[in-house]
Amino acid sequence: MPFTKFVQPGRIAYISYGPEGGKLCVIVDIIDQNRALIDGPVTGVKRQQINFKTLHLTKFTLPIAHGARTGTVRKAWEKSEITTKWQETTWAKKIAAHERKANMSDFDRFKLMKAKQARNRMLKIEIGKLVLAQRKEKKTKK
């Protein structure tokens, strides 16, 4: 399967680690084979150079020219509604769920455990009923 996400000006990327980790940015220009100039005026990422190893490319792009100014990037970001599109992706939902789970208190984890136990108990009872009905059906066929 060919590549579909290329390092290019206008590509939205997720910063995986570092001081700006967990934020979205836009690749504004490519400096060399290891670094890019990024900007994230909506997400709070200042214009800076960053190594490609810290970036994860997303499927979103902005229609901007290389070296675009911060204001141009902001207008293109808001026009394309990148923030709402990002929040709808499964990637962003997984990150949000992970943060929500990390911020749980001890009592919240206990309540979650008890809820899972109750759910599993109900499932086990229903599966038992189905298995019992299936066995009775087999006996009547004989």
For 88-100, what is the mean pLDDT? 95
Q: pLDDT of 101-120, one tens digit each?
A: 999 999 999 999 999 999 99
- Rounded average pLDDT over 69-90: 96
Q: What is the pLDDT of residue 141?
A: 79
Report the DSSP pairing between strands 35-40 and 45-51: antiparallel
What CA–CA distances, in Å, run from 108 to 100, 101, 113, 114?
A: 11, 9, 9, 10
Q: Tell me how far apart the alpha carbons of residues 102 and 118 are, in angstroms, rounded to a whole number.
A: 23
Q: What is the pLDDT of residues 17-57, one digit of tens each?
A: 999 999 999 999 999 999 999 999 999 999 999 999 999 99
Query: Phi and psi dihedrals of 134, rounded to 5?
Result: -65, -40
**Residue 116: what pLDDT?**
97
